Chains A and B, each alone.
Chain A
Amino acid sequence: QQQVKQSPQSLIVQKGGISIINCAYENTAFDYFPWYQQFPGKGPALLIAIRPDVSEKKEGRFTISFNKSAKQFSLHIMDSQPGDSATYFCAASSGATNKLIFGTGTLLAVQP
């Protein structure tokens, strides 16, 4: 019940295209859903996050769509750029500790 399932494992998108990464969870107690971006040899960096009281959040080219009834959420990267090439992790947390449960990651390659 603690798992967060992420797909696809890898993704190739042309420059200017839309990248879409999906995640699903089981634990209905989760109340915070962040997306992290990680470059090789670096720590994860927060990209955007959402709480379940809204269905969508947009920050620049990045949008989270959240479907509470389906227990799914997704990251959309509009106008994808080669600099977006990285590994993306969804995560979920709940409670006083807020410890993050991460998905398995998606390796995104944006081709010029």
Chain B
Amino acid sequence: GAGVSQTPSNKVTEKGKYVELRCDPISGHTALYWYRQSLGQGPEFLIYFQGTGAADDSGLPNDRFFAVRPEGSVSTLKIQRTERGDSAMYLCASSLNPGGPGGTQYFGPGTRLTVL
């Protein structure tokens, strides 16, 4: 009965470096979402996967951000040339059926990214 897991829980990096954040959704959940939460704010949508494909990436702030989900399960959010403004909590959520009664999104504990 595992929930959504995210690794690492904390990541400290230097400006300009590349980082990867991993999300393991609940088994069987076809929908996967990435959100970013700045301190004192609500989560903001980044990207949505249905299966292996990115069905909506309208929330990605720029082309330094990219995400993949090659086998329709685990997803990786990739950030190139990190900037101090990228510092935030990155949250992953999954759901069984995004448009229907099973549309509840279950969130992971997040990865706290700090860019020095």
Contact = CB atoms under 8 A, between A and B. Distances in A.
Interface string A5-33: 01000000000000000000000000010
Given A44-B91, A89-B43, A105-B41, A98 B107 contact: no
Contact of B98 (A44, A89, A97): A97
Question: Interface extent on A, as a size class?
Answer: 20 to 34
Nearest to B58: A99
Contacts of A99: 33, 45, 48, 56, 59
Contact of B43 (A42, A49, A95, A100): A100
Given A43-B91, A43-B109, A44-B91, A98 B42 contact: no
Interface in B65-115: 91, 93, 95, 98-99, 103-110, 112
Interface of A: 6, 32, 34, 36, 41-46, 49, 89, 91, 93, 95-105
B96 to A, nearest CB: 11
Contacts of A93: 103
B41 A104 contact: yes
Nearest to B109: A43
Contact of B42 (A34, A49, A105): A105
A54 B35 CA distance: 29
A18 to B, nearest CB: 23
A43 B42 contact: no
A36 B35 CA distance: 14
Closest 10 A/B residue pairs (Cβ): A102-B42, A43-B107, A98-B98, A99-B45, A97-B56, A96-B99, A43-B109, A44-B107, A98-B103, A97-B48
